[in-house]
Structure 1
Amino acid sequence: MFDIRRLRLLRDLDRLGTIAAVARAHTCTPSAVSQQLAALQREAGVPLLERRGRGVALTPVGVALAGHTEAVLAALEAASATVAAARTGLTGTVRIGAFPTAVHTLLPGALVALGRDHPGLDLSVTELDPAAVPEALREHRLDVALLHDYDLAPVEPDPALDSAPLLDETVFLAVPEEDAARDAAASADPVAGFGDADWIVGSPGTLCHTVAVRACLAAGFAPRIRHRVDDFSAVLTLVAAGRGVALVPRLGVGRLPDGVRLLPLAARRRTRIAHRRGAGGHPAVAACVRAVRAATAAHLEAGAGAGAD
């Protein structure tokens, strides 16, 4: 019988590529990871790892075993969900992760409903960039999370997660009012008219940063990045002050400052709600998903959110 903790290390080595990266993900030392993987190899009785340069790589058997690990972990999640469903009432901690605009707009209604309908739940919210969500779910730092991608920067589905569509919204180019006339050049892409503008983008490594750069490159130029700001309210304030232009999704618009014009793009941002594969039957996870869906629908019906355009 294989140790599930060691199987997770093998799975993560296959995913992350180095012992050092696995150690960082599990907050332990590379030596400890190596020892556990060596013990797993002894349990298997066949080579799972091989030297490759200064590092290690999985053998074909190791790759196959890592692949089976996802199914094993999903089965354990499903087993936990079955046991939880047999209990009376919903109790325990539910850790919810979301990107900033969702925390401001979608989660408040969901948290109110969950607190009212399931007072035994201890709800915890973490704000984080969607790029960090899969790792946080895999490592049990989150139970349910919102993540998104753009058609300009699609993200491959994570085999460790189950997810379902939640929201599809327009992306706008936010420009100072006096510069909006540049859009009149009959261009199918408003971004093309702002190749000489200063750009306000997200921090390097965030999805928003990647999308802004790709949108500009698709329009035929590299953006002249002047400001790096992650909060869309602050971004729009800078645009209103004439400090540059920026891409803003519908959910990030909020109260539009005076002096800002929004030019709709063909690009879309797609939000999904995710949890670990197999955990969808857990009553607390299911209740959280239902609450977020209902809060999203209410937000859209109020006319303040995305997806109505």
Structure 2
Amino acid sequence: MLDVRRLRLLCDLARLGTIAAVAQAHTYTPSAVSQQLSRLEREVGMPLLERTGRRVTLTTAGRVLVGHAETVLTALEQTTAALAAVATGLTGPLRIGAFPTAVRTLLPATLVTLGQQHPGLELRVTELDPVAVPAALHERRLDVGLLNDYDVVPVEPDPELETVPLLDETVFLALPDGAPPDPAQRGGGPGAADPLGDTRDAAWVMATPGTLCHTATLHVCRAAGFTPRPRHHADDFVTVLALVAAGQGVSLIPQLAAAHPPAGVRLVPLTTRRRTRIAYRRGAAEHPATAAFVTAIQAATSTFLGR
């Protein structure tokens, strides 16, 4: 009988690439991970890893086992969900990961609804960047999480996760009042201006380099024929809008963050979209706690958007 915990370590090695990364994800020592994988090789009766110096790669047998192990892990998630479905009432922790804007706008109503309908749930929220959500789900630090991407920077789906759509947002160009483009001064409607083209010489408030928001801004601006010139870097949209209101630059703002802009900010809608999805481990869709969260946050999103 193969040990499920060791199978999970092998799958994580295939995903993360190094024993050190697997050890960090599980708060083990690299030596402990190596020992567990060696025991798995003895259980299988053939080599699963090829070691060259400090490098480790999967053998053909290792790759075959990973493919079947992912099926086993999905089946275990489905089993857990089925057992939870026959229990009386929802109890225990539900660990939720979400990006700051969603924590501020969508999660409060979601948590109130879940708390009222399922008082036995222990709701635990972690605020984190969407790029960190898949790893947290794989490592079982989260049960559900919110992912997002932009139509100009699509993210490849993770085959080990299932997702459902939550929100498709307009992205706005945030400008200080009086800054071009100003359709009224142009003598036309909103479509008369080239909102991005008129900011090619402006200072920009951009997210931290390497984040999805920063990459999306680069793509949008380069498609308009220029590279944005950053003056400030900020990842919290409240801070971004405050800097725009102070005349410190222009920025791109998704709809969730644009609900209540401060005085001195003008928002121009763009064709770019930001897309948010609810994610959980494959096989967990039928878990009652997962289903309850999906229903609650979808309702909270509809209410927030006034649908």
Band of TM-score, shorter chain: over 0.9
2:292 pairs with 1:280: no
More deviation in 260-269 or 199-208?
199-208
**Matching residue's letter, 1:298:** T
2:85 is equivalent to residue 85 of structure 1 = yes
- C-alpha separation between the residues in 2 aligned to 1:218 and 1:8? 42
Q: In the TM superposition, what is the alpha-carbon distance from 1:279 to its structure 2 partner?
A: 1.0
**What secondary structure sits across from 1:154 in the alignment?**
coil
Contact 1:233 1:254 in 2 (8 A): no
% of aligned pairs identical?
63
1:229 corresponding residue in structure 2: 234
Q: Choose from 197, 210, 218 the match for 1:213.
A: 218
Q: CA RMSD in A?
A: 1.9
1:194 aligned onto 2:199: yes
Structure 1's unaligned 5+ residue stretches are 303-309
Distance in 1, Cα, partners of 2:25 & 2:182: 47
Q: Which position in structure 2 is the counterpart of 1:39?
A: 39
Q: Deviation at 1:134?
A: 0.7
How much has 1:58 moved relative to structure 2? Answer: 0.9
- TM-score, with length taken from structure 2: 0.92
Partner of residue 250, structure 2:
245
| Matched residue, 2:265 | 260
1:5-154 matches, within 5 Å, as: 5-52=5-52, 54-154=54-154
Relative to 1, partners in 2 of residues 1:192 and 1:27: Cα closer, same or farther, differing over 3 Å?
Answer: farther
Q: Give the direction of change, closer, same or farther, for the CA distance of 1:210–1:117 in structure 2 (3 Å limit).
A: same
Aligned match of 2:301: 296
Change in Cα spacing, 1:22 to 1:187, as seen in structure 2 (3 Å) is farther
- Any idea what the Cα deviations from partners look like across 1:112-164, whole Å, max 9, x if unmatched? 11111111111111111100111111111111111111112111111121110
> Partner of 2:70: helix, strand, or coil?
helix
Q: Secondary structure at the match of 1:180?
A: coil
| Post-superposition offset of 1:52 | 4.4
Q: Could you tell me which amino acid in structure 1 is paired with residue 300 of structure 2?
A: A
How many pairs were matched up?
A: 302
- Distance, in Å, in 2 between the alignment partners of 1:209 and 1:27 is 31
With normalisation by structure 1, the TM-score equals 0.92
Deviation at 1:214, TM superposition (A): 2.2
Q: What secondary structure, in the 3-state scheme, does the structure 1 residue paired with 2:28 have?
A: coil
Measure the CA separation in 2 of the matches of 1:187 and 1:16: 49
Structure 2 distance, partners of 1:35, 1:219, is 54
For residue 148 of structure 1, give the secondary structure of its aligned residue in structure 2.
strand
Do 1:96 and 1:126's aligned partners in 2 also have CA atoms closer than 8 Å? Answer: yes
* Amino acid of the structure 2 residue aligned with 1:56: V
Q: Name which of structure 1's ranges 202-211 and 161-170 shifts more when overlaid on structure 2.
A: 202-211
1:253-279 Cα distance to aligned partner (Å, 9 max, x none): 131122212122211001111111111
* Structure 2 counterpart of 1:178: 178
Partner secondary structure for residue 112 of structure 2: helix
Q: Is the 8 A contact 1:233 1:253 kept in 2?
A: no
